Amino acid sequence: MSTLNASFIIEITKRDFAERFAGSVLGSLWAIIWPVVNLFIYIVIFGKIMGARLPGTSEINAYGIYLAAGLIPWTAFSSTISRCASAFIDKKHIITKVNTSLPSLMIHINLSESITYFISMLVFFVILAFQGHEFHRELMLLPFLYYLQQLLAMSLGLFAAVLNVFIRDVREITGVILQLWFWFTPIVYVFDILPGVVRRLMAYNPACIIIQSYQRIFVFDDYPPFHALIQLTVITHVLLFFSFVLFRHLEKDIRDFL
Amino acid sequence: MMEPLFLLCWTGLFFAGLFLIRRKIASGVRLYLLLMLNLIFLAGVFYFYPAIKRDASIKRGSLPSARETISICCFPAVGD
């Protein structure tokens, strides 16, 4: 197995980012325009024009902030999984020509999604500051939460990527699962409206723990559920371990198959 | 002030561990050690942070009783 190469990862991340906006007049500015437009929709359209209110809070923009706090991390999480799932097939031309370590493709996707996430969060913070939102100490936990969420996304993505080489349906199945997962996680609706049975099931939904942590930090100025986060950390690492063991076991076959 | 200090020190320790593993450990077991280090790092943040927070909040107010001090030191709070 070839070792991870930092300069290679940075190079393909740069190229990935440049390719996304290649040929457009505004170029990389689109990376800022998109989050601004999305946040405008969440906060102004949903919060102010449609008048959606968050139960238990008096703030007018609370629902918009609640939406943004859930959708920004979810977008990074789901994009990482779906892009990782097809990484080996999509980067076939690189894998077959350059002797590169396959996990570096996962890391470059993570890095690329992290840039988008960072820009979105930056725009979100600027909007919150303009609205006079108070920033609390709990925000210090955001990098750790993000790190955990991306590790989980990478472990699931690696597992799907290995399977996708042999069974091409995995890419489509991943898309379907992510769509169902989105609606099974309280991102656009509030956790409290769920019936009791579903609420109990939510304890087994890792995305719910992550998204709720963000919502607690941004909207309710509260601490994330630490106990659940510790459990999720252990589960994530076990998943990452098994995904990697499976990948190592099949690496030669993956290269032959491609 | 305690919480940012803890997060900084803990992250610093994690990076020192990363550096040591990258430099001193053979590549065969490196990845598994990195996974272990990651696990300890993240679980440590989520385990110790609420304990430190509770400790700090008590210090800002009145002095804790002997019983509270023992419970903080021996049984740090975990959970929400």
Q: Which residue has the higher pLDDT, A146 or A127?
A: A146
Q: Is B18 left (phi over 0), alpha (psi -120 to 50) or beta?
A: alpha
- Measured between CA atoms, the residue of chain A closest to residue B51 is A226
Q: Give the mutation candidate from A144, A154, A158 for the B interface (greatest B CB count, under 10 A).
A: A144
Say which range, A21-30, A242-251, B29-38, has the weakest mean pLDDT: A21-30
How much is the pLDDT for B57?
57
> Which DSSP string do the residues of A154-215 spell out, in sequence order?
HHHHHHHHHHHHH-THHHHHHHHHHHHHHHTSSSSS-GGGS-HHHHHHHTT-HHHHHHHHHH
Q: Which residue has the higher pLDDT, A158 or A18?
A: A158
Say which range, A148-152, A194-198, B50-54, has the weakest mean pLDDT: B50-54
Q: How far is B59 from chain A (nearest CA, A)?
A: 17
Say which range, A11-15, A159-163, A242-246, has the weakest mean pLDDT: A11-15
Cβ distance B80 to A223 less than 8 Å, yes or no, reads yes
Q: Which of A95, A97, A104 is nearest to A165 (CA)?
A: A95
Q: Which residue has the higher pLDDT, B28 or A159?
A: A159
Say which range, A158-167, B27-36, B44-53, has the weakest mean pLDDT: B27-36
Dig out the tokens for B12 from the structure.
Answer: 């610093």
For chain A, the average pLDDT equals 86
Q: Count CB-CB contacts under 10 A for residue A39.
A: 22
How much is the pLDDT for A37?
86
Q: Which of A29, A77, A30, A70 is nearest to A46 (CA)?
A: A70
Q: Which residue has the higher pLDDT, A255 or A152?
A: A152
Q: Which of B13, B17, B54, B38 is nearest to A148 (CA)?
A: B38
- Residue A199's pLDDT band, with cuts at 50, 70 and 90, is confident
- In this predicted structure, the answer to whether residue A54 has a pLDDT above a threshold of 90 is no
- In this predicted structure, the answer to whether residue A234 has a pLDDT above a threshold of 90 is yes
Place of tokens 């909040």: B57
How much is the pLDDT for A145?
95
Place of tokens 């979105």: A120
- In this predicted structure, the answer to whether residue A94 has a pLDDT above a threshold of 60 is yes
Q: What residue ranges do the domains of chain A occupy?
A: 6-257
